[in-house]
Amino acid sequence: MKAGYAVAKKPGLVSGFFISQPAKKQRGHRSRTLSETSPFQQYGRMRGMRHSFGFAALISLVLVLCSASATTAQTALSEGAQQFAEFDDFRLRNGGVIHDFRLGYRTLGKLNAERSNAVLWPTWLGGKSEDLLQFVGPAKVVDSSRYFVILVDAIGNGVSSSPSNSKSQPLMKFPEFIIRDMVESEHRLATDVLRLSHLRAVMGLSMGGMQTFEWAVTYPDFMDLLIPMAGSPQSTSFDKLLWTSQIDAIELDPAWNHGNPTGPLDRGLGLLEEIGSMNLTSPAYRVAQTKPDGFDALLSDIRKGAKGDGGMASDRIRQRQAIIVLDIPGELGITMEQSAIKVHAKLLVIVSPQDHLVNPEPAMKFAAAAGAALVKLDSACGHLSLSCISVGPTVARFLADPTSVHSETLREPVNH
């Protein structure tokens, strides 16, 4: 996930998110570093993930299996090409403003005559919309021959307006934002730019799952279905400690210089990745995958991708700050149970009980209160369980017919 967690790009991982491919043990180690780009580094490589702790790392998407002042360059672009929606000044929930705001996105597939088949999928921590392309297409997690898919670059990911690319508000001059702000920008994209009044579904991994929960209560009638995967409606104290320690790792790097970088932040970003790697999977997974004599190689792999400047470090900090303050019940001034009752769309929640990166308890509690289908992934892969257990088929079925999916526990296939 470097901005999110990603897993090192390895065979089967990228598409593994939705395909079941048991991990193989090696005498040394089989590392899955995180990358900012995907909650599972693409939530495989997800390229970003590798450097992202990425929330992403969010999995290799084990799921194997698109106003008035708003403008966008919609020329004859190839399907899935990077596009931008421009909103001039974008006002945040805390009263701050992002100047010259741009939101990156990609679309695949076509809207049907009823304009009822749009699926919106925002990125995970540090992830890029480019990382999600591998999960969209015929016979994949979301079939673009059936749905109009909108992949969105969340605020602060280095593509959409971020500390690293803002000319008027660079680095830490870029205002703090929250998950709700990400959702508001995505809603404006859907309504003001794409002229949509309804979506078939909103789905996401890791931080993308957090955005999905926020969509659920902020715009409860705007979609038919919601699929948060390895996400949460509220950051627990454990989550806050994790994200805070990663921010501290950056700020303690001498080159950070109190937010006025004097050079590469490799030391701070390297420590950030090490902390993320400890939480990306369960202790049992790491012990099984990396023998003592393979530790040096593991550490080298983790640090290799952890290189960046002040812009990258600032992006990492701002997105993590947004996650730290995530608290949907608190935003609404009600309980978790009361928050869940506000959901009108059909909800499918996917979690791993052994997720040490995004604590699954709030999501499970939300699902129970909402009477939603809850799919638990029984795997030592933790946050990367989506790359170890195939859930793509389940997601595809839910998109087509939500009544066909029920609560269940999926387990990794046994190697013989």
Q: Does residue 268 carry a pLDDT above 90?
A: yes
Smallest CA-to-CA distance from 374 within 411, 341, 347 is with 347
For the chain, what is the total number of helices (H) and then of strands (E)? 13, 10
What does each C-alpha distance from 382 to 204, 209, 284, 356 come to in angstroms? 17, 16, 10, 6
User: What is the structure's pLDDT at 60?
Assistant: 44
User: What is the structure's pLDDT at 64?
Assistant: 36
Q: What is the DSSP letter of 192?
A: I
Instruction: Indicate left, alpha or beta for 372 from its phi (over 0: left) and psi (-120 to 50: alpha).
Output: beta
Cα(385)–Cα(101) distance, integer angstroms: 35
User: What is the structure's pLDDT at 413?
Assistant: 80
Higher pLDDT among residues 187 and 38, named by residue: 187
CATH of 47-65+67-411, one of 3.40.30.10, 3.40.50.970, 3.40.1190.20, 3.40.50.1820: 3.40.50.1820
Structure tokens at 83: 């596009």
Which phi and psi angles does 25 have, rounded to 5°? -80, 145
In a 3-state reduction of DSSP, which class is residue 348? strand
Place of tokens 């994200």: 243
pLDDT in tens, 57-81: 444 444 433 333 333 444 457 899 9
| pLDDT bucket at 137, cuts 50 / 70 / 90 | very high
Q: What is the mean pLDDT of residues 216-228?
A: 98
Dihedral of CA atoms 236, 242, 208, 49 in degrees, nearest 10, equals -160
What does each C-alpha distance from 406 to 243, 266, 294, 362, 402 come to in angstroms? 33, 45, 41, 19, 9
Vertex 162 angle, CA 267 and 254, to 5°: 20
User: What is the structure's pLDDT at 238?
Assistant: 98
User: What is the structure's pLDDT at 342?
Assistant: 96
Vertex 259 angle, CA 314 and 99, to 5°: 55
Residue 306 has a CB neighbour count (10 Å cut-off) of 28
Smallest CA-to-CA distance from 7 within 205, 219, 194 is with 205
Q: What is the mean pLDDT of residues 217-227?
A: 98
| pLDDT bucket at 415, cuts 50 / 70 / 90 | low
Cα(412)–Cα(288) distance, integer angstroms: 15
Beginning with the edge strand found earlier in the chain, give each strand of the sheet holding 408-411 in spatial order: 71-72, 83-91, 97-108, 148-152, 118-122, 199-205, 223-229, 346-351, 373-378, 408-411
Structure tokens at 254: 């001498």
| pLDDT bucket at 39, cuts 50 / 70 / 90 | very low
Q: Does residue 258 carry a pLDDT above 60?
A: yes
Place of tokens 């995505």: 186
User: What is the structure's pLDDT at 46?
Assistant: 44
How close are the terminal C-alpha atoms of the chain, in Å? 32
| pLDDT bucket at 161, cuts 50 / 70 / 90 | very high
Looking at 74-83, 143-152, 284-293, 394-403, which range is the least confident one? Answer: 74-83
Smallest CA-to-CA distance from 276 within 174, 201, 383, 379 is with 383
What sign does the CA torsion over 333, 334, 336, 338 have? negative
DSSP string spanning 122-155?
E--TT--HHHHGGGBSTTSSB-TTTSEEEEE--T
Q: Does residue 330 carry a pLDDT above 90?
A: yes
Q: Does residue 5 carry a pLDDT above 70?
A: no
